[in-house]
Amino acid sequence: MLEAGTPAPDFELPSALDHTQKLSDLRGKRVVLAFYPNDWSPVCSDQLALYSQALPLFEKHNAQLLGLSVDSRFCHQAFVDDRHLHFPLLADFEPKGAVAKRYDVYDEAGGTSQRALFVLDEQGVIRWAYVSPNEVNPGADGILEALEKLDGDGGQP
């Protein structure tokens, strides 16, 4: 996985049925990238529901949350609608896992991304990264600690 201090690779992925999201368009904001294996799995459902509830805490730190998996944008839209999520889910669908591979968090054996978190500063540099076992919800504490550290040190690693 890419480590803290590494510039985050730019990407552009479908974020809804008729929209795309380019990472570099978020310069000036902190970004939380939450790679997860699959829509609809129990752990992913719980993790993303928690992040949707924690959005005001992320926004307090000028952070935009983006969820990424290898599911299609159609699957994402159904998942967002069913789970009432309030942040973009990006479809790393075709070529499958291309962005996860660039961040070195693609699980070749499972054909999905790993459950990985990245916090980027306003310049698009990775300041915190974490991979959780796929069966474990990593929660939001590590993300919030990383964002608070950026607040405390002026964004320096």
Tell me the β-bridge partners of 32. Answer: 65, 119
Residues annotated as part of the active site: 44
- Whether the CB-CB separation of 107 and 113 falls below 8 Å is answered with yes
Nearby residues of 138 by Cβ (< 8 Å), 6 or more positions away = 47, 115, 117, 130, 132
User: In terms of Cα–Cα distance, which of 157, 152, 143, 150 is closest to 32?
Assistant: 143
Whether residue 88 is preceded by a cis peptide bond, meaning omega within 30 degrees of 0, is no
Which alpha helices (H) appear in 15-61, and where do they start and end?
42-60
